[in-house]
Amino acid sequence: MSDDGGVDRSFVKAAMSAPFLEREEERLLALRWRDHGEEAAMHKLASAHMRLVIAMASRFRRYGLPLSDLIQEGHVGLLEAAARFEPAREVRFSTYATWWIRASIQDFILRNWSIVRGGTSSGQKALFFNLRRLRARLTRGGQDRIDEAVYGGIAAQIGVSRADVAAMDARLSGHDISLNAPLGDDDASGGERMDMIPDNALLQDEAVGEIIDADRRVNWLNSALAVLSERELKIVRERRLVEEACTLDALGQRLGISKERVRQIESRALEKLRQALLAQHPHGAAMLS
Tell me how far CA of residue 112 lies from CA of 70, 108, 202, in angstroms: 11, 6, 36
- Please identify, among 67, 90, 112, the residue that sits at the C-terminal boundary of a domain: 112
**Segment 172-176 mean pLDDT:** 59
Same domain, 214 and 278: yes
Higher pLDDT, 67 or 150: 67
Q: Sign (positive/negative) of CA torsion 158, 163, 166, 171?
A: negative
pLDDT value at 191 more than 90: no
Same domain (yes/no): 18, 96: yes
Domain encompassing residue 143 = 122-173
pLDDT at 258: 92
- As a whole-number percent, the residues of the chain with pLDDT over 70 amount to 69
Structure confidence by residue, pLDDT tens digits, 13-25:
777 777 888 888 8
Of 271, 262, 272, 215, nearest in space to 239 by CA: 262
Q: What is the CATH number of the domain that holds 62?
A: 1.20.120.1810
**Residue 183 belongs to some domain of the structure:** no
pLDDT at residue number 128: 67
Tell me if 181 is assigned to some domain: no
Q: Residue 141 domain-assigned?
A: yes
| Same structural domain, 133 and 70 | no
- CATH number at 214 reads 1.10.10.10
Domain membership flag for residue 179: no
Q: Are residues 81 and 139 in the same domain?
A: no
Same domain, 263 and 226: yes
* Contact (Cβ atoms closer than 8 angstroms) between residue 245 and residue 239: yes
Looking at the fold, whether 219 and 281 belong to one and the same domain comes out as: yes
**148 plus 238 within the same structural domain:** no
Asked if residue 108 and residue 128 are part of one domain, the reply reads no
How many domains does the chain contain in total? 3
What's the CA gap between 41 and 95, in Å, rounded?
A: 19
How far is 59 from 14, CA to CA, in rounded Å?
Answer: 20
**Predicted local distance difference test score (pLDDT) of residue 117:** 57
Per residue in 251-287, pLDDT (tens digit) is 899 889 998 999 999 999 888 888 888 887 776 544 4
Residues 103 and 22 in one domain: yes
The answer to whether position 168 is within a domain reads: yes
Domain final residue, candidates 133, 158, 173: 173
Is 194 within a domain? Answer: no
Which of residues 59, 92, 112 is at a domain's end? 112
Q: What is the pLDDT of residues 125-155, one digit of tens each?
A: 666 666 666 666 666 655 555 566 676 777 7
pLDDT of residue 289: 45
Residues 242 and 217 in one domain: yes
In a domain, 80, yes or no: yes
pLDDT per position as a tens digit, 76-128: 999 888 888 888 888 888 899 999 998 899 888 877 776 555 555 666 666 66
pLDDT at residue 4 in the model: 46
Least confident residue range of 75-84, 157-166, 231-240, 274-283: 157-166
Q: Are residues 127 and 153 in the same domain?
A: yes
Does 182 map to a domain? no
The separation between CA 208 and the C-alpha centre of its own chain, rounded to angstroms, equals 37
CA 128 to chain centre: 15
Give the dihedral sign, CA 242/244/248/250: negative
Together in a domain, 108 and 14: yes
pLDDT given at position 285: 47
